[in-house]
Amino acid sequence: MTLIEQLRAIVGDANVLSGTDTAGWGEEWTGYYHWSPLAVVRPASTEEVSRVMQLASATGTAVVPVGGNTSLNGGTKAEGALMLSLARMNRVREVNPATQTVTAEAGVILQTLRDLADENGLVFPLTFGAQGSAMVGGFLSTNAGGSNVLRYGNTRMLCLGIEAVLADGRVMNTLSALRKDNTGYDLRDLLIGAEGTLGIITAAVFKLAPRPVAYATALMSMHSLGAALRLLNRIQAGTGGAVEAFEYMPHNYMLRLAELRPDLASPIAPGEVNIFVEAATTVPGEDPTERLQTLLAGAMEAGDVADAVIATSEQQRRRLWQMREAAAEITFTDPLVIDTDVALPLDRLQTFLDNMAARLGGIDPKAWTLVVAHLGDGNIHYSVYPGGPDEAVRAAIRAAIAEEAVMLGGTFSAEHGVGLSKLPEMAAHKDPVALQVMRSIKRALDPQGILNPGKVLPAGD
């Protein structure tokens, strides 16, 4: 039997795509990377994933796992490799309101988890623009962040246990709902953020949280990032750390948003710095809006806030959220865009922006930027539109962004992963000993190098 025939014997004829049938699987969401996979395999269970990996191991066939294919760094490029789609593994195995946990398979869509938690009077707080298509396996594999990291943490902090299939087909089951488990190495955290290079995550247990009973949501125009950070500290102190989102949208972002999405134009005159903030309470009868109004009034008297609007209905709240969540839509309007996601200490964000403005002008005078940020956790999405398609210029811009972030005590990758796009930055800025340890782990778990080859780890010893 050929490899394709053996795969069809495992998952069924309809669930192995080859030849021209793979045409829709040859690019990622950004449209920047293109490829021709050997085949697309769509297993429906952990057992089928295990059998597929046993076959891949026996034949030395490269395997690239894919969920919602919302990668932004080439993490699912699969030239000549098997693409292993987890979309059919879409069962929620258990919701336990008593322990505030949910167990879901890798193909469950993030929005489904959020809706299910809501139905049970709880919340799954991970939220970002692609939540209608991103899947459990994908957002675990990139350790996704989003807008609520400030209060709830990133994906790694929301996950209690995982089930994964290793390169040779063995199934590793650490699907524990325990909040404490001090029994050796944390293999869960090892696979989270590994982008499918160490194992294929097939299911996970997540923490849920009490659902807020009331929100206070506002949009403010401000004069500086320094004023915005003072306001963040003021609101955190005044609400007992109840700030869920604190998002930065500069003046040119607001102008472009109004141009491309006039339905989302700002309800107030945009300032140089515009902040979307949301605080929440789980205490019945507590009014976070009244508290936020008082805090904003104090910030206005201090001269930190120029203008503000507070949502007075759920419809208004959702519209303010959409203004921020439209970022990906308005950023990827040009195929030449260089999308990066750096993270910095909060007090060095303005320095980074100032330094990069100067450096960018020296590299490409025609380049312009579009920036948004999860300001509360220091994560800046710094997108550059170069004056042309010159790959050397693109590489120089990427290198400058990473170098500037690292020099200021930050990182070149905050929440989008490494994939292919950030391999040069990994080679240039990751601690050499850390890279050696990572390569040792890769060799131990995937000695043939068949799991998502060429991603995350730059070439080296």
Q: Give the tens place of pLDDT for each residue, 139-159.
A: 999 999 999 999 999 999 999
240 found inside a domain: yes
pLDDT of the residue at 428: 96
- Asked if residue 193 and residue 134 are part of one domain, the reply reads yes
Last residue in a domain, options 272, 293, 328? 328
Distances (CA, A) of 215 to 55, 231, 305: 51, 18, 20
Question: Domain with 26 in it: what CATH number?
Answer: 3.30.43.10
Is the pLDDT at 353 greater than 80? The verdict is yes
With helix as H, strand as E and coil as C, how does 442-454 read? HHHHCCCCCECCC
Last residue of a domain, one of 210, 235, 252: 210
Q: Is the pLDDT of residue 70 over 90?
A: no
Query: Is the domain of 309 the same as that of 373?
Result: no
Average pLDDT estimate for 193-217: 97
In the structure, what pLDDT confidence band is assigned to residue 297 with cuts at 50, 70 and 90? very high
Could you tell me which of 166, 192, 148 has the C-alpha nearest to residue 52?
166
Q: How confident is the model at residue 42 (pLDDT cuts 50, 70, 90)?
A: very high
pLDDT tens digits along 275-295: 999 999 999 999 999 999 999
Domain annotation covers residue 395: yes
Whether 96 and 206 share a structural domain = yes
pLDDT at 90 over 90: yes
Q: Does one domain contain both 205 and 218?
A: no
Summary mean pLDDT of the chain: 95
Locate 275 and state its tokens.
Answer: 């902040």
Please compute the mean of the pLDDT values over residues 31-48 and round it to a whole number. 95
In a domain, 316, yes or no: yes
Residues 108, 178: one domain? yes
Mean pLDDT of 357-361: 96
Q: If you write DSSP's letter for every residue of 308-347 in order, what string do you get? A: EEE--SHHHHHHHHHHHHTHHHHHTTSTT-EEEEEE--GG
What pLDDT does residue 142 have?
94
Q: Is residue 44 part of a domain?
A: yes
Range of the domain at 142: 92-210
CB neighbour class for 392 (10 Å; exposed up to 12, middle 13-18, buried from 19): exposed
Q: Is residue 104 part of a domain?
A: yes
CA distance 56 to 169: 9
pLDDT of 367-378, one tens digit each?
A: 999 999 999 999
355 plus 269 within the same structural domain: no
- Beta carbons of 4 and 49 less than 8 angstroms apart: no
Polymer length of the chain: 461
Same domain membership, residue 154 and residue 62 = no
Q: Is residue 457 very low, low, confident or very high in pLDDT (cuts 50, 70, 90)?
A: very high
State whether 225 and 294 are in the same domain.
Answer: yes
Same domain, 282 and 376: no
Instruction: State yes or no: pLDDT of 341 exceeds 80.
Output: yes
pLDDT of residue 129: 84
Number of domains in the chain: 4
CATH number of residue 118's parent domain: 3.30.465.10
pLDDT on residue 350: 96
Q: Judge whether 444 lies within some domain.
A: no
> Looking at the domain assignment, is residue 440 inside a domain?
no
Is 232 in contact with 243 (CB distance < 8 Å)? yes
Q: Encoding tokens for residue 320?
A: 């303010």
pLDDT in tens, 100-116: 999 999 999 999 999 99
> Do 342 and 321 fall within a single domain?
no
What is the rounded CA–CA span in Å between residue 247 and residue 190? Answer: 29
Instruction: Tell me the CATH number at 422.
Output: 3.30.70.2740
Cβ–Cβ < 8 Å for 419, 456: yes
Q: How confident is the model at residue 460 (pLDDT cuts 50, 70, 90)?
A: confident
- Alpha carbon separation from 282 to 122, 210, 240, 279, 311 (Å, rounded): 10, 7, 12, 11, 18
| pLDDT at 453 (0 to 100) | 97
Residues 199 and 98 placed together within one structural domain of the fold: yes
Per-residue pLDDT of 7-30, as tens digits, reads 999 999 999 999 999 988 999 888
Residue 329 has pLDDT above 80, yes or no: yes
What is the phi/psi pair of residue 393, to 5°? -65, -40
Q: In terms of domains, do 225 and 324 share one?
A: yes
Domain stops at, among 299, 328, 357? 328
